[in-house]
Chain A
Amino acid sequence: MAGSILGNRVLRKEDPKFLTTGGVYVDDLLTEPALVGALHVTYVRSSVAHGIITSIDTSDAKSMPGIVAVLTGKDLGLEPVPSAYNPAATRTLLATDKVRFVGEPIVAIVSNTREQGEDAIDAVIIDYDVLPALIDLEEAMASTTLLYDACGSNVVFDSMVLGLPDNTGDAYFADCEVVVKGRYLNQRVAPCPLEVRGAAAAWGKDGRLTEWLSTQHAQGAVAPLAAANGVEESMVHVKTPDVGGGFGAKIGAYPEELLLGVIAKRVGKAVRWRETRSESMVGLGHGRAQLQYVTIGGKRDGTVTHYQLWAIQDSGGWVDMGTILAPFMTRPMSSGVYAIPNIECRTTSVVTNTTPTVAYRGAGRPEATAAIERAMDMFALEIGMDAVEVRRKNLIPKFLTPHTTVVGQTYDVGDYETSLDKALVAADYKGWRAKQKAARDSGATKQIGIGVSVYVEITGGVGNGESAKVEVLDNGHALIYTGTSPHGQGHATSWAMLANEQTGIPIENIELVWGDTDLVPIGTGTMGSRSLQQGGNAVFAVAAELVNKAKSVAARLLEASEEDIVLDKDSASFHVAGTPAVAKTWAELAVAEKQAGGLVHSDVINVSGATFPFGAHVAIVEVDVETGKVTHIAHTACDDAGKVLNPMLLEGQIHGGVAQGVAQALLEEVSYDSDGNPITSNLADYAFISAAELPSVTVVHMETPTPVNLIGAKGIGESGTIGSTPSVQSAVIDAVSQFGVKHIDMPTTAEKVWAAIQSAR
């Protein structure tokens, strides 16, 4: 037979549609019978960052053309809902008494057309008693003005409540020859999926709610939707149309989405909602937003012996998922790729009057990597040693059985030094150092900077398995039902490759079903780079079981014993060993099995743990020292994601990840004025990166399979954002370290670089 399809650059099955007729997103569901004639919902949002609502006057808005209803939280009888991460913090889904960030929804307008809803926004008059806006994290931490009075503090989560110790301060470093301290801001960024949020809701005659949702996790939305609508979970059906990106921010369901069923019930009609980009920039969760106090200590020979991190996580105006990323993602990864014998890491999560933070591509691991990598650079600079050599000296040696760091995190497999070496060779590290020296010697305006990062991260940390169902139809085509939720990743292609590998059914005859909670009731969605290692793994295992089932059917039809039946994958048919001329196709078997419930198998396949992809990135930048302008001129990424299923999809994930990671290092930052007004609420002001700011990425292949799943795969979805950011930041600082610059916070904008040179000189 032809060789295995696995490991090949199979073109995406999805692309013909996306490149011709385009995706069908929530807003495109125009012919969906249940949504024909649906009314439009528009939310009126808080224009103040922190305040008490004193009055809401909806009377003028109600009399505007096309307005069906104007509803406040009181009108809808909304009750406070506790946060899953700190139940003392509660809010109503539409703010009724206090508002905590600009953009928080307060009133729902229901109109015949969307434009009418937009026109009515200004007619809703909301008065506030304005409270001091807490935007700065440390100010919020110390303030007696509280966002959530019942929490007793703006600190809403601290690693110490988990029974973990506090950091011991400077005393920890008493035995160190060298101690270096840093304060790094891992700035707030906006995920900016191309498709903003959108949803639609309709109640059926059977009393069930159907909600169409642009989400990464339909099954996860069922319970919150049931709670918000006051029905049993069995009465909620979530459907996922095409989703134009999520990057973590579409994992959880938002108030605007949870309320649609409530509103639909109130007005007696289906409703739809689609936010604008300006709304999305304040309403969709933000990412990162971590302030880090770092101390690193060790010997003059380059050995790092002590590391202490205090990560202060900005939760924003609600205690959402961002709150727990510092303790549960940053802290476990604080050791990075290094064998540091003494580590302390405390995390403190603080609410502020800003958009709530959620998971964003990397979600806590980029922050951990940035902190340790920056600290390594500063340590190297202090002792006058090459930053690569300092890293090499402290790397955890290659391990193929689990390794546990001093913070208690167990990594599956690792070979960090090889990834570092491969990246350095591919990037021509030595050559660039020579060019850098020449530029320095000549005092040229354009100076070269070289940054290296070595990282390890957690993938598949969410969920411990996934559901899969494979069904062969009468025509021999197959349907795969998966609990993952593709929104750009290419699961239709990858899952078909995995099923093809087991069944021989051509990938063009395999269709993927996902994101429909009636068809796929069990699923953990797509997040945390889990999909292939859990969802793909499940498809692989279930398809293998289905082949066994098919063999027993074939044995019956061919009157042979099951052990003698072989599957010829080239022809996708079964025969008795030795007599290939008499064969049964998948179609024949499916037809034969019809009465007995069809040729179908489904299961939930568990994996034995998370995986820990690793790698090394080398960034080269050019810095115009007269203006501070940074140009990213070359980037090399060696990312080890274990067994590679489709190198083209892998490279796509790396390219996209690198782009977002570089964006954080160089350009992007969500900003507020001192009153808490967002000043980056559109894509002209928010410096969303474009292709013109990026070099071509050199991808270096490395494959260290993991033992924790059948296919040996680890995640690749987030590696690019984890490895690239510190390397680029480091390269910028390296370019100007000759002037005495030791650190520049991200994003390393031209003015910051220029100012750093001025103050160092």
Chain B
Amino acid sequence: MIPAPFDYKRASSAAEAISLVSEYGEDAKFLAGGHSLLPLMKLRLAQPAVLIDIARIEDLSYIRDAGNHIAIGALTRHMDVEKSPILAEHVPLLSFAASHVGDPQVRHRGTIGGSIAHADSASDLPATTLALGATYVVQGPNGTREIAAADFYKGFLESALAPDEMLTEIRVPKMNGATWGFQKFNRRAQDWAIVGVAAWKRGTESGVGLVNMGSVPVLATSVAKAIAGGASIGDAAKLAGAEAEPQSDLNASAQYRVHLAEVLVRRALESTSK
């Protein structure tokens, strides 16, 4: 519960952060809200030699209407995502999901960029932005590039981000009146999901993201395909596990997780969450 020694640097802009990380290389880690990184450091599962604090880069904390999509700065806190009127109007699924992250203290510290960069399949926002077809903007020493959410998650806590790249913006398409549901199944109110589902539907179009159903956040494409092909929600939901490779752990067996995913996908598609 006491981290190993480390150095601390504070960056005041994305450019400075990237130059610092280039300077210190693999031993350096960005520190955003610290709510995934610090617990790992306290358990000494992560022992970065240098922390580059990016939490105070003010101009990376924003939520803007950019026409077809909403642009969210990577350092926007979960609480701001939860409370945003722009998101409430155009991407209500994302603010609702953000309101289910941990507890208020966690939501005031943790950032959407940190959550996505951490690439934990058990976290709520990676799967939610995946379901919404988001694009992530990342900046490195050689400029910026865009990565589709569907191409971003590579393995357990592994993403397409290079060590010297920083996630700067999350672009989420507007939902344009889609119905949606977010189902989080956990033991205690503040826990991570045993299984979570973020889903939307507009006519025969739909997107379904699964939380904690494998080593990466899962896009349940079979469900969407079935709906596109005219299947009922009930029948489509039975395909929820098709792309998933869930684990058995302390909280649930793999078999039970698949069962939960089926029930929760059905519930998420059937009615808009309140």
Contact = CB atoms under 8 A, between A and B. Distances in A.
Nearest to A114: B2
Interface stretch (B14-22, B126-134, B256-264): B256-264
Interface in B172-210: 185, 187-192, 194
A143 B248 CA distance: 29
A627 interface: yes
Contacts of A755: 256
B12 interface: no
A627 B260 contact: yes
Interface stretch (A261-269, A348-356, A609-617, A684-692): A684-692
Interface in A687-704: 687, 689-690, 692-693
Contact of B190 (A114, A682, A692, A749): A692
Nearest to B189: A692
A679 B188 contact: no
A295 to B, nearest CB: 31
B2 A626 contact: no
Contacts of B192: 684
A468 to B, nearest CB: 40
Contacts of A627: 185, 259-260, 263-264
Contacts of A279: 1
B156 to A, nearest CB: 17
Contacts of A751: 251-253, 256
Contact of B250 (A278, A679, A692): A679
A682 B192 CA distance: 14
Contact of B256 (A682, A693, A754): A754
B188 A693 contact: yes
B2 A118 contact: yes
Interface string A733-761: 00000000000000001110011000000
A114 B190 CA distance: 31
B2 A276 contact: yes
B256 A680 contact: no
A629 B187 CA distance: 8
Contacts of B231: none
Contacts of A682: 43
A597 B194 CA distance: 67
Given A278-B43, A671-B250, A119 B187 contact: no
Interface residues of A, number: 28
A684 B191 CA distance: 7
Interface residues of B, number: 23
B182 to A, nearest CB: 16
B252 to A, nearest CB: 5
B4 interface: yes
Nearest to B267: A626
A145 B157 CA distance: 41
A692 B2 contact: no
Contacts of B188: 667, 687, 689-690, 692-693
Nearest to A679: B250
B67 interface: no
B5 interface: yes
Contacts of B191: 684, 687
A702 B259 CA distance: 46
Contacts of A15: none
21 contacts: A115-B2, A115-B5, A276-B1, A278-B1, A627-B185, A627-B259, A667-B187, A667-B188, A671-B250, A682-B43, A684-B191, A684-B192, A690-B190, A692-B190, A693-B188, A693-B189, A749-B187, A751-B256, A754-B256, A754-B259, A755-B256
Interface of A: 114-115, 118-119, 276-279, 626-627, 629, 667, 671, 679-680, 682, 684-685, 687, 689-690, 692-693, 749-751, 754-755
Nearest first, the 8 closest Cβ-Cβ pairs linking A and B are A276-B1, A692-B189, A118-B2, A751-B256, A626-B263, A687-B187, A679-B250, A751-B252
Interface of B: 1-2, 4-5, 39, 43, 185, 187-192, 194, 250-253, 256, 259-260, 263-264
